[in-house]
Amino acid sequence: MISRDSQYFLLLNVGHFLDHYFMLIFATVAALALSAGWGMSYSELLPYGAPGFTAFALCSLPMGILADRWGRDQMLVVFFIGIGLSSILTGCAQTPMQLGGGLLLIGIFGSIYHPVGLAIVTARWKHTGMRLAVNGVWGNLGVGCAALVTGLMIDIAGWRAAFFIPGLISILFAFPYLRISRVVEDQIPVGGSAPVKPANYGPLWRVLICVYMTAVLGSIVFQSTTVALPEIFEERLVGLAEEVSDAFEALKLESASVIGGLAFLVFAVASLAQLVTGHMLDRWGARPTLALVTITQIIAFLSMPGLDNLAAFAVALGIMLGVFGQVPVNDFLIGTTASKISRSRAFGARYMVSFLAFSGALPLIAIVQANWGFDMLFYVLMVCATLILFGSRILLSAPKVENEKPAL
C-alpha cells in the first residue's frame, strides 16, 4: 500500500511530466500532421507556438507570487485543470490563429508548475536534493515521451486526439491531487520535514548573483548541447552509425534512425545523473556538487574538438552527464536558502530567467556553427562552465548552521 505522502509526491512528479509533455505536443503535430493538413510549411507554423513559450517564461514569476499569496496546492489544481482545458481547446482549432491562442493558454497555465511544484518539494521533505532529482527525471520523461506518444496518437486517431486525450487525462489528475493534498497537509512527511531555517551560503546578494549567474550560463549550456547534439552526431558519428546499422542488418535501420537512437541513448543515460547529483546535494551540499559537475563539463568540452565516432560518442555522454547533473543544483540552492513563505516567487524568478536564456542559445548555435564549426561551440560552452565554476567558488560560502533570517 502506497502511503498518502508517497502518493502526493507521485502526483507532483506527474505534474512535472505533463508540464513538459504539453509544451512539446505542438512541435510534433506541426511536423507530422499540420504541414500537410493545412497546406503550411513547418517554418510557417512554428511562429504560432512562439507566444506560448514566451508566456511559459514570463508568467513564471507572477504565478509564483500568486502561489505564495493564495496557496500552492490550489495553484497546482488550477494547473492540472487549466492546461488540460487549454489542450482540448487547442485540439478544436480550425485556423492557425485559433491554434496559436490555444498554445498561448497552454504556456500560461504551464508556467504554474515550476515555481509552485518545486516550492512544495523543497518546503515539505527533508532530503531535498534527491527529491528534486527524482522530480527532474519525471520532467525529462515528459520531454522524451512527447514526440513518441504524440506521433502514435496522430497515426491512430489524428492530430486533434493528440491534444484531446492528454488534456482529459490532466483534468482527471486534478481530483486525486486535490484530495491527497488536503489529507497530507497536516501530516509529518516520510523521512522527516524540511528544515524550518534556511541554509547559510553567505550574504544574500552573493547567493542571488550565484543563482542567476548559473541559471543564465547553465541554461545556455543545457539548451546548446541538447539542441545541437543530434546534428553533432550526424556530422561526427557517420562511421559508428554504419557499424551499428551493419550489426543490426536484419532491422534495416537507416542512418537517421541510428543517429536518433544514439542521441536518445545519451539523453536517457545522462538524465539519470540527476539522481547521483541529488544524493550528493543531500550529503555534501551545493558548493562541492556544483564544482564536480562543472569540472566534468570543462574536461569533456576541452576533449571533444576533433573527435569522431566512438570517442566522440563517449565524450558526448560525459558532457551530457555533467549538463544534466547540474540541473538540480540551482533548485537546491533556492530551496534551502529561500524562506518557505516566499519560495514560489523565488523559483518563479529563477525559471523566468532560465527560460528567457534558453532563447539565446539558438542564435548562439547558429552563428558559431556557421562561422567556426562545432569545435568553437565546445570552447564557448567550456568558458560558460568555467565561469560557473569559479563564480560559484567565489560567491558561495561553505554552508553553516542556519541562524540567520530567511534569505529571500
Of all residues in the chain, what percent carry a pLDDT higher than 70?
89
Q: How many whole angstroms separate alpha carbon 200 and alpha carbon 405?
A: 9
What is the distance between the alpha carbons of residues 182 and 32, in angstroms, rounded to a whole number? Answer: 42
- Beta-carbon contacts of 255 under 8 Å, excluding residues fewer than 6 positions away, are 238, 241, 242, 245
Structural domains of the chain, ranges and CATH numbers in brackets: 4-184 (1.20.1250.20), 204-395 (1.20.1250.20)
Model confidence band, residue 387 (pLDDT cutoffs 50, 70, 90): very high
pLDDT of residue 403: 40
The residue with greater pLDDT, 339 or 26, is 26
- Asked whether residue 405 carries a pLDDT value surpassing 50, the answer given is no
- Check residues 369 and 402 and name the one with the higher pLDDT: 369
Q: Read off the amino acid at residue 362.
A: L
pLDDT confidence band for 271 (50 / 70 / 90): confident
Mean pLDDT, rounded, for 5-20 = 93
Handedness of CA 131, 137, 138, 139 (dihedral sign): positive
Determine the average pLDDT of the residues in 379-404.
76
Show the cell assigned to 275: 539522481
Q: Where are the alpha helices (DSSP H) in 237-342?
A: 238-247, 255-271, 273-284, 286-303, 309-337
- Residue 200 in this model has a pLDDT that exceeds 60: no
What gap in Å lies between CA 10 and CA 190, rounded to an integer? 13
Asked whether the CA dihedral 205, 210, 211, 212 is positive or negative, the reply is positive
* C-alpha to C-alpha distances, 210 to 132, 164, 343, 358, 397, nearest whole angstrom: 19, 42, 17, 18, 11
Query: Which of the 8 DSSP states describes residue 39?
Result: T
Which range, 214-223, 372-381, 395-404, is most confident? 372-381
pLDDT bin (cut points 50, 70, 90) of residue 401 is: very low
What does each C-alpha distance from 77 to 71, 173, 223 come to in angstroms? 10, 9, 30
With CA atoms as reference, report the closest residue to 220 among 365, 357, 391, 325: 357
Whole-model pTM: value is 0.78
Is it the case that residue 398 has pLDDT exceeding 70?
A: no
**pLDDT band per the 50, 70, 90 thresholds, residue 358:** confident
- H/E segment holding residue 206: helix 204-236
Phi, psi of 95 (to 5 degrees): -135, 160
Per the rule left: phi > 0, alpha: psi between -120 and 50, beta: everything else, 127 is beta
User: What pLDDT, on the 0 to 100 scale, is given for residue 92?
Assistant: 95
- pLDDT greater than 70 at residue 36: yes
For cell 489544481, the residue is 77
Higher-confidence position of 113 and 191: 113
Looking at residue 9, its pLDDT comes to 92
Q: Which residues of 59-74 are buried (b: 16+ CB within 10 A; e: fewer)?
A: bbbbbbbbbbeeebbe
Res. 193: pLDDT tops 80: no
Cα–chain-centroid distance for residue 89?
25
Pick the closest to residue 210 from 201, 197, 200, 219 (CA basis).
201
What mean pLDDT comes out for the span 381-391?
92
3-state DSSP percent of the chain in helix, strand and coil, to 5: 85, 0, 15
- Pairwise CA distance, residues 180 & 199, whole Å: 29
- pLDDT score, position 407: 40
Q: What is the largest CA-CA distance in the chain?
A: 65
CB atoms within 10 A of CB 141: 17
pLDDT of 255 higher than 70: no
Higher pLDDT, 394 or 404: 394
Which pLDDT value is given to residue 402?
42
Q: Is the pLDDT of residue 384 over 80?
A: yes
Residue 278 or residue 333, greater confidence: 278
- With cut-offs at 50, 70 and 90, classify the pLDDT of residue 360: confident
Q: Alpha carbon of 132 to those of 16, 52, 66, 85, 272: distances in Å?
A: 11, 25, 22, 28, 12
Write down the mean pLDDT value for the chain: 84
Q: Residues 140-176: pLDDT tens digits?
A: 888 878 877 888 898 888 899 999 999 999 999 999 9
Model confidence at 79: pLDDT above 50: yes
